[in-house]
Amino acid sequence: MKNYANFENLNTTERAARFVVSFAVIVGTLYSPMVGSTLYAVINLLAIGLAATAIIGWDPAKALTFGKKSELPAKHNYHGNHHA
């Protein structure tokens, strides 16, 4: 059986927060005077993208940002545990 936890980089709290924020933004823009404008479309598309990352549990920006830190070589102690 495969372990799908390796493919998720968002915990439950982050997922819930992203979904609540995206839902609030979408509902908030429905009642705003900018309905029909380009800004309205852009804001809703960004909110939908945020909701999609919450649903699938994986954020590509977070994977790129935090994935690079794990690829850095480990720092070795060449001084044989001697302190100055």
Each domain of the chain, given as residue ranges in start order, spans 4-59
Q: What pLDDT does residue 84 have?
A: 57
User: What percent of the chain has pLDDT above 70?
Assistant: 69
pLDDT tens profile 9-48: 888 999 999 999 999 999 999 999 988 899 999 999 999 9
10-to-13, 29, 63 alpha-carbon distances in Å: 8, 26, 10
Does residue 79 or residue 40 have the better pLDDT?
A: 40
Which residue is it, tokens 């999609």? 52
User: What percent of the chain has pLDDT above 90?
Assistant: 43
